[in-house]
């Protein structure tokens, strides 16, 4: 189990309290599809992903981005029990969606960058480290049920 300091708990809750889920989720997912185009392989049913503009304006991408962020919120509310919190999603991504777990790190890096751009100077090195630790723990939980 991951050990969290008081600073980390407070910082994670603070970051997510200030996020506009409906814009950050879509921004992170669409950024991932632009920066790491091979991730588009999992979204062939989403319609037009032909170029950056198409991706950023794609309503299916936006919808899915919001879902992802709301699912991340579950982790924020259950930081001491991430493995169980994400067990079902882990099975889904492995058995049904067949997503290479290395991709989880890619989207989490994109989310970090989106949050950084929003928070500007307030996104200090310490805040970044806390967010990255949380996202790494979520990524690990999501990979747990793969076999």
Partner 1 sequence: MLSKKEKELIADIWESLTPVAEDIGADALLRMFASYPGTKTYFSHLDISPRSAHLLSHGKKIVLAIAEGAQDIGQLTVTLAPLQTLHAYQLRIDPTNFKLFSHCMLVALACHMGEDFTPVAHAAMDKYLSAFAAVLSEKYR
SS3 assignment for the chain: CCCCCHHHHHHHHHHHHHCCHHHHHHHHHHHHHHHCHHHHHHHHHHCCCCCHHHHHHCHHHHHHHHHHHHHHHHHHHCCCCHHHHCHHHHHHHHHHCCCCCHHHHHHHHHHHHHHHHHHHHHCCHHHHHHHHHHHHHHHHHHHCCCC
Closest distance between partner 1 and the C-beta of residue 121, in Å? Answer: 7
Closest distance between partner 1 and the C-beta of residue 54, in Å? Answer: 12
**Residue 35 makes contact with partner 1 by CB under 8 A:** yes
Closest distance between partner 1 and the C-beta of residue 11, in Å? Answer: 12
Kindly determine how many residues on this chain lie close enough to bind partner 1 according to the rule CB under 8 A. Answer: 25
* Contacting partner 1 within 50-109 (CB under 8 A): 52, 55-56, 109
**Residue 10 makes contact with partner 1 by CB under 8 A:** no
- Cβ nearer to partner 1, comparing 72 with 114: 114
- Cβ nearer to partner 1, comparing 30 with 85: 30
**Residue 42 makes contact with partner 1 by CB under 8 A:** no
CA dist 94 and 141 (Å) reads 12
* Contacting partner 1 within 110-139 (CB under 8 A): 110, 112-114, 116-121, 123-126, 128-129, 132
Q: Which residues bind partner 1 (CB under 8 A)?
A: 30-31, 34-35, 52, 55-56, 109-110, 112-114, 116-121, 123-126, 128-129, 132
């Amino acid at each position: 189990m991951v050990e969290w300091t008081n600073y980390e708990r407070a910082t994670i809750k603070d970051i997510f309290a200030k996020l506009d889920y409906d814009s950050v989720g879509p921004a992170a997912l669409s950024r991932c599809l632009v920066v790491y185009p091979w991730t588009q392989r999992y979204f062939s049913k989403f319609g037009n992903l032909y170029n950056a503009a198409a991706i950023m304006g794609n309503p299916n991408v936006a919808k899915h981005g919001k879902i992802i962020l709301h699912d991340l919120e579950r982790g924020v509310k259950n930081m001491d029990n991430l493995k169980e919190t994400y067990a079902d999603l882990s099975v889904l991504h492995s058995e049904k969606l067949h997503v290479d777990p290395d991709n989880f790190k890619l989207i989490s890096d994109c989310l970090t960058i989106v949050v950084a751009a929003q928070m500007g100077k307030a996104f200090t090195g310490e805040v970044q480290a806390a967010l990255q630790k949380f996202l790494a723990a979520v990524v690990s939980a999501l990979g747990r049920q793969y076999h």
